[in-house]
Amino acid sequence: MIAFAIKRFVQALGVMLVVALISFMMFRFVGDPVNQLVGVDTPPAERAALREALGLNDPVMLQFGRFVVKAAQFDFGISYQFKQPVASLIASRLPATLELSFVSALFALAVGVPMGVYTGLYRNTLLARGFLAVSLIGVSLPTFLIGILLIFAVSVNLGWLPSFGRGETVNLGGVWNTGLLTKSGLQSLILPSITLGLFQMTLIMRLVRGEMLEVLRTDYIKFARARGLSRRAINFGHALKNTLVPVITITGLQLGSIIAFAIITETVFQWPGMGLLFLQAVQNVDIPIMAAYLLLIAFLFVTINFIVDLLYVAVDPRIRIGGRTAG
């Protein structure tokens, strides 16, 4: 088990190094960094001094090494547009995005799994067909359209929920601004999380449904029925647990994409998160922010995958390494 974890950890490190290389190269491909930093009328001597000070004359490998070491210490340099350390810019935006993403994922799971189980068990009922039809809308409508429709219906016409922003936030320990503790913060969270989580919810629902249909046909479910177990024990004990491995995989991967693609939802709802920061960075060719964002998202993906791998082992004994073998 520990050997397995270490192996996965080393693999994760490898992935991070490759991503670091890509984001390092971004500085080169998008033009001379010095040009981004100084004005048009800066004399060549000053430019040369800056180039030397930034270490741009060193061998590429050395520069890359320096980039990696700094990145590992959360030092991503200074933003071109804000003239502030990138790390603190991201740290101030990160809580908003993470809260939005986790609430969306929670919404997708809490609604998607029961709906999937229901449509799998009672696939011919009217309600199940209704769920499936609605899920088609969730899969096919683009996120921004869902967001705008929700704003139009719930905020503009009904006036129930705020249409933009994060509401009031409470500062926790000086590092984390949370909107989860105030009424306006929670209210502001509802529409963006539904918008962001709807696609994942329908995906999870369809996945759980498919897996349930598959599992309910297996011999061990037939045998469980032949043993006279109760419907509850069969459906939720024996069947649902067997659908969990693919569901965990997809949820894990989707959590990564929820965070990465919160950009659109954040734009629609003017949510002060990383996505909005990233869009501004793209418009202003603010390479340090883009590079840091890329690294951060890769880090989140890798971490989530690592946790997912460990979760498999917890759910499915057959994946356990070094278990006792058949006798």
- Contact positions toward other proteins, by CB under 8 A? 218-220, 222-231, 233, 237-238, 241-242, 315-318, 323-327
Give the shortest CB-219-to-other proteins separation in angstroms.
4
- CA-CA-CA-CA dihedral for 284, 93, 258, 297, to nearest 10: 70
**Host H or E run for residue 176:** strand 176-178
- Number of Cβ atoms within 10 Å of the Cβ of 297: 18
**Host H or E run for residue 288:** helix 287-315
Tokens 């192996």, residue located: 7
Do 192 and 102 touch, CB atoms closer than 8 A? no
Give the shortest CB-315-to-other proteins separation in angstroms.
7
Judged by CB, which is closer to other proteins: 83, or 217? 217
Judged by CB, which is closer to other proteins: 128, or 148? 128
Q: For residue 228, how far is the Cα from the chain centroid?
A: 43
Judged by CB, which is closer to other proteins: 125, or 230? 230
3-state secondary structure of 139: helix
Spatial separation of the C-alpha atoms in residues 273 and 44, rounded to whole Å: 39
Spatial separation of the C-alpha atoms in residues 265 and 259, rounded to whole Å: 10
- Number of Cβ atoms within 10 Å of the Cβ of 182: 15
Hey, what amino acid is at 276? L
Q: How big is the chain by its Cα radius of gyration, in Å? A: 24
Judged by CB, which is closer to other proteins: 73, or 124? 124
| CB contact set of 109 (below 8 Å; sequence gap of 6+) | 204, 251
Give the shortest CB-79-to-other proteins separation in angstroms.
49
Give the shortest CB-149-to-other proteins separation in angstroms.
40
Give the shortest CB-117-to-other proteins separation in angstroms.
16
Spatial separation of the C-alpha atoms in residues 136 and 243, rounded to whole Å: 21
Give the shortest CB-236-to-other proteins separation in angstroms.
13
Judged by CB, which is closer to other proteins: 8, or 123? 123
Give the shortest CB-218-to-other proteins separation in angstroms.
6
Judged by CB, which is closer to other proteins: 183, or 217? 217
Judged by CB, which is closer to other proteins: 59, or 317? 317
- What is the sign of the dihedral through the CA atoms of 198, 240, 98 and 183? positive
Give the shortest CB-233-to-other proteins separation in angstroms.
7
Judged by CB, which is closer to other proteins: 57, or 230? 230
Judged by CB, which is closer to other proteins: 146, or 239? 239
Give the shortest CB-74-to-other proteins separation in angstroms.
40
Do 294 and 288 touch, CB atoms closer than 8 A? no
Angle between helices 86-121 and 287-315 (to 10 degrees): 40
